[in-house]
Structure 1
Amino acid sequence: MDDNDNRPVFVNQPYHAVVPVEATVGAPVTKVTAIDADLGDNGRVHYDLLRGNGDLFAVDLLSGAVTLRRSPRGLDTAFRLVVTAYDGGSPPLSSEAEVLVTTVDGSQPRFSQPHYWARVAESAERRTPVLTLEADAPSASSLVFQLTEPAVDSMFAVDFTTGVLYVAGELDYETRPRYELMVSATDRVTGSMTSVPVTVNVTDVNDNAPQFERSVYNVTASEAAHPGLKLLHVKVTDRDQEDDQPLSFRVQEADGSESFLFHMTSDGSLAVTSYLDFEQRAAAPAVEDVNDNVPVFDRASYACELTELPSRGQFVTMVKAHDPDPTDQLVYRIADGNDRQLFYINRRTGVITVANIRAFDESPQYQLNITAADGIHHTYVPLTVRLMPANKHAPAFEKVAYEVDLSEDVASGTPVTQVKAYDPDRGPLGVISTRQRLDRETEPVLKLPVGTYAVLCTGVISTVKVRLSDVNDNAPRFQLAQYRAVVAANLTAGDVVCKVTAYDSDEGDNARIAYSIFETEVSDIRKALDIDSETGEIILMQQPNQLGEQFHPPAVAVTRARLGT
């Protein structure tokens, strides 16, 4: 049979509620819940309003729901209720819980939550954002936020314009793990005010080294000691260590290596690992490192770029320092330049992120001073964060298409034309130049698609049409390497013996061909034959019987009007 040995326990505390003054009878306010570990009637929980405004509030016997008995209009704005939860045992056991109720009217600012909760590590540096309180003003004006019940020792503060609650002091989980704050929002126009409770839980970090009860231990062991013999028990405490989490131990030699003669057991006892030999080895004490080195950053200075419209938590950059002392744990902080809490640095990794996007102004860059500390020594390094224009506009070309005339013999690197595209985010763009020799005969017209692209914007295309003008850079060529002709006996002077044909890849006057008979020595060949300079027809100038049997035909040359021979 179960004994009634457990009291009801309230869960989800503390209880806070906000009720509008226009709420009617029966309107829900909040609900309290308690549990009882006993069985049967001993574990059946009932609720009752023990103290505070029983004429205004009612508590359901079975569910714990708190409701209104009548309208709160015209009454106080804050109420403290004490609700009791009791079980069905004989005699019954009970527990109490406090319920805070605040009433607001239509002219008062209203927070998005009746109670804010937040967690922050005890290692958080000053001005680290904890949470953002959000409230709306009926007048649509801006609000002023402030702490109505300042934190003990000014550990927290709130930005009066943004509602960002941030760390203002050095937190210590071991000294105080929880803070109960009250923040108000005041309408700048009407002056009406509303307050909201804020609970900040400080989380523990491993910032306390284990402490031995004594700084030096002396022990004598016989070389006859057998392995497993416990020689000494040490007592160690750690303010960060939970009671159910054991500490780990390590026995070191003088050179820092792990001892093979002794080891530490889980209960803190120094025990023998292997057989001892006085003549061969005397055990030496472990050497503890002394913090005698200053941390050094990997760079003399840091610089990075960030869009002018960043998002909260966006990565900015990472700083890195090292310390020759192997046991030192470096801690990074933003020492200067972060008055508006724009940036947050992870104190262990050195990763810097965006913390408060509302506080960015028109400054083109921010200068921060970063420090790395090992507990005794610290060093600084400057960080420049340059804001880059956000890509809010797509570029546009001045023209849909461009046409350019260019000589084919221009040198590589010669500017061809300038295409103008304008982007309000980046300014004018674009100069086109040649990269190699051009050849009109291979490609007389070049069509170049030109595009502009911007991050997150669609690119635009324009076309540049380049017409290459001809230069006289090609020699004429005969269609055949050699021509043969037979002079018939019945031909007469003035008849055409044969016709030669040549071509030129240039155009216009540069391709106009003139034919002539080429002679290396003076002879009478022109008395026998001649050539039409335009058609290339070779004409007989004498009767065939006058040529002779050993007649050798002449060589024919072609020339261009502007090139000469």
Structure 2
Amino acid sequence: MPERLAETLVDLWTPLIILWITLPTCVYMAPMNQAHTLTTGSPLGLSRQSEELRILNRSKRGWVWNQMFVLEEFSGPEPILVGRLHTDLDPGSKKIKYILSGDGAGTIFQINDITGDIHAIKRLDREEKAEYTLTAQAVDWETNKPLEPPSEFIIKVQDINDNAPEFLNGPYHATVPEMSILGTSVTNVTATDADDPVYGNSAKLVYSILEGQPYFSIEPETAIIKTALPNMDREAKEEYLVVIQAKDMGGHSGGLSGTTTLTVTLTDVNDNPPKFAQSLYHFSVPEDVVLGTAIGRVKANDQDIGENAQSSYDIIDGDGTALFEITSDTQAQDGVIRLRKPLDFETKKSYTLKVEAANIHIDPRFSGRGPFKDTATVKIVVEDADEPPVFSSPTYLLEVHENAALNSVIGQVTARDPDITSSPIRFSIDRHTDLERQFNINADDGKITLATPLDRELSVWHNITIIATEIRNHSQISRVPVAIKVLDVNDNAPEFAAEYEAFLCENGKPGQVIQTVSAMDKDDPKNGHYFLYSLLPEMVNNPNFTIKKNEDNSLSILAKHNGFSRQKQEVYLLPIVISDSGNPPLSSTSTLTIRVCGCSNDGVVQSCNVEAYVLPIGLSMGALIAILACIILLLVIVVLFVTLRRHKNEPLIIKDDEDVRENIIRYDDEGGGEEDTEAFDIATLQNPDGINGFLPHDRRGLLRGIPENAA
């Protein structure tokens, strides 16, 4: 490459050197009337200079030269003659001195102050600086006074082809879909050339491919790269290396060139169907495998990648479609066969499935190639396993009457060993579910018996767990829940639903309802409760009260007459017999307490005490309070008097020789028993109403609940 560049420079420089040697003589010998003057506007003069000349009013005088150029990169033993400055004021007497100033004056360009010859003393690079602006001036040699105003001119650096094209952004990478048609655009690359694009062909680039054919082509001027072969297959070759050349001088001989690389990657399209690695798969699975367990995996390979290789798996046929399912593993791109329902070796020992793998993303451009799917056969063999016993029912419901005899059979559970080599079964009760040990079970036949009495009113349901264990393998056990319902029998008599207390107004009317009562029974008959109410036989002809059965299974107590008086009798006790409808029926007697009270005219109870009845009617509440305060004051005075009198009679000093224990009073008399209780009625103290004699005569009869004249 350096040798070629040297030859090119010699070819270019030879005529130019000859031109520059003859140019000063031609310029100097030019007639005056053909020379350009500053007053007429020299091509190298500027408007500012013309304005200065018009001010000086100088005519027919000025600088004479042609456009100056200098080739870049020229190097020789002597400085390069760029041009010569000359003014028409110079008669050749050597009294004029030329002065040069501006860009590069004295460093790059040097002037002969006598002849006006300008030389380039340094090697120039147009790509570094394309032109230089300098100022020329002619002065008197002796006085240094300017003979003409200064004038600017330009020295242009002429380009030579000294820069090779460069790909500044290389190396390049591009992608194109596989199976693309011929001429599909891949990318374009651009090279730059530092040479002058407007002078010659130094920067005129032509592109070509040095390596990468016949797969790709490039347009020489635009550098657009296209596919040169149709239907390139990524699965055959995915990546191509293309070497691209850019050559200046329009691609002609002697031009400089630069290269870069382009890596073209074929992107995947879905042009391949999935394909199972084998047409037949064999799997085995124990019959006791847990539901949802993965039995095996099948895989359909796809030469495509990414989403184009994704496939979905399905079971499309076979005798195990209800027992097995297949799911797609998106990570491993295979199908996982799982168990949906329990297996039974004794029922069926093998299954055959037909599975299908199909692409999820189909490219319509290749759909005509055929179905993008594949099928395979899967055979699954069921292996025998030692299974636990199986109960005849998943749950049991037993019923037993609460009066069932001990050790009576209330039900039975059964279980079997499902294995071919059947093992005997033993039954037991999980005592964590029967802490009170109310039930037993026969270990051989599973009959459940009653161990303790039952009471439905305490617990209606009993939930226990029965365990079945294989005798040959105690680790094989099964459990089943057993719910035992206790059935009701009529073993509870009815009674009042609450503790009732009735109030009877003295001014009440005959037939008035005094109280309504209802009954309750702890039993639970199938047809509901129905109660019968009655009075004791000896009180059927009760002169004061009567009873009436209501439709809602309740009872109303009515007064037979009016004129009840608290002074005559304050409390009445009415025994009522309540019977149920059980088989056999049960009954009990409950006593209703009826109090006679004073009521207002509209029947509102005001007072039920006899003392309130005998108080003077005109006595106000304030008077009652005053009387009560006086009584309390008198009691306080009496207590104080007694206390002071007792302290007065007691000696103030206890003698030392007295034994305090001698002051203890001993009382060893025994009580009189029932005679004492009859002699002194303590109930009188508990109820002050007894003082006035309005209680029943026989208190013992009241305590027993049935007085002599209760009603």
Q: Same fold (TM over 0.5)?
A: no
* Structure number having the greater strand percentage: 1
Q: TM-score, normalised by structure 2?
A: 0.23
Larger radius of gyration: 2
* Structure number having the greater helix percentage: 2
Q: TM-score, normalised by structure 1?
A: 0.28
